Amino acid sequence: MLAGRINNSSKTEFLFIPSVSETKRIIDEHLASTGIEKFTTTQLYNGETTPKPKVFSEEQKLQFLIKAYPSLPETRPFRTWSNGLITATPEFFYLGTLIH
């Protein structure tokens, strides 16, 4: 393992992949912290309005996750027993395939 030091970046990084329920929590917290509304209003035939959940595309959800990634407790850098530093990355290439 090639861990980073104070002035050198880590050559070993980890990728945190949240579960489906954790992904929903992360996105909800990100939307709340940025002020993005999770609901839209729909006009009913009688003139009243009702809240309706917004539908975000998979690309939008991915962008929310990437923006929230650095602030997650699970992605904080950590020290090894030899005082090296291991950092997180939101995406990396593995054998030519982009993983995020």
Tell me the pLDDT tens digit for each residue of 19-56.
888 888 888 888 888 888 777 767 677 777 777 788 88
Residues 62 and 84 grouped into a single domain: no
Residues 9 and 48 grouped into a single domain: no
Domains identified in the chain, total number = 2
Please report, for the chain, how many H helices and E strands are present, in that order.
2, 7
Residues 64 and 44 grouped into a single domain: yes
pTM of structure:
0.61
Tokens representing 20 are 């489906």
Residues 27 and 55 grouped into a single domain: yes
Residues 67 and 80 grouped into a single domain: no
The number of C-alpha atoms within 13 Å of 85 and in the hemisphere containing its C-beta is 12
Q: What is the pLDDT of residues 36-45, one digit of tens each?
A: 877 776 767 7
Query: Containing domain of residue 58, as a range?
Result: 23-32+40-71
Return the pLDDT at 69: 86
Residues 67 and 83 grouped into a single domain: no
Q: Taking every pair of C-alpha atoms in the chain, what is the biggest distance, in angstroms?
A: 68
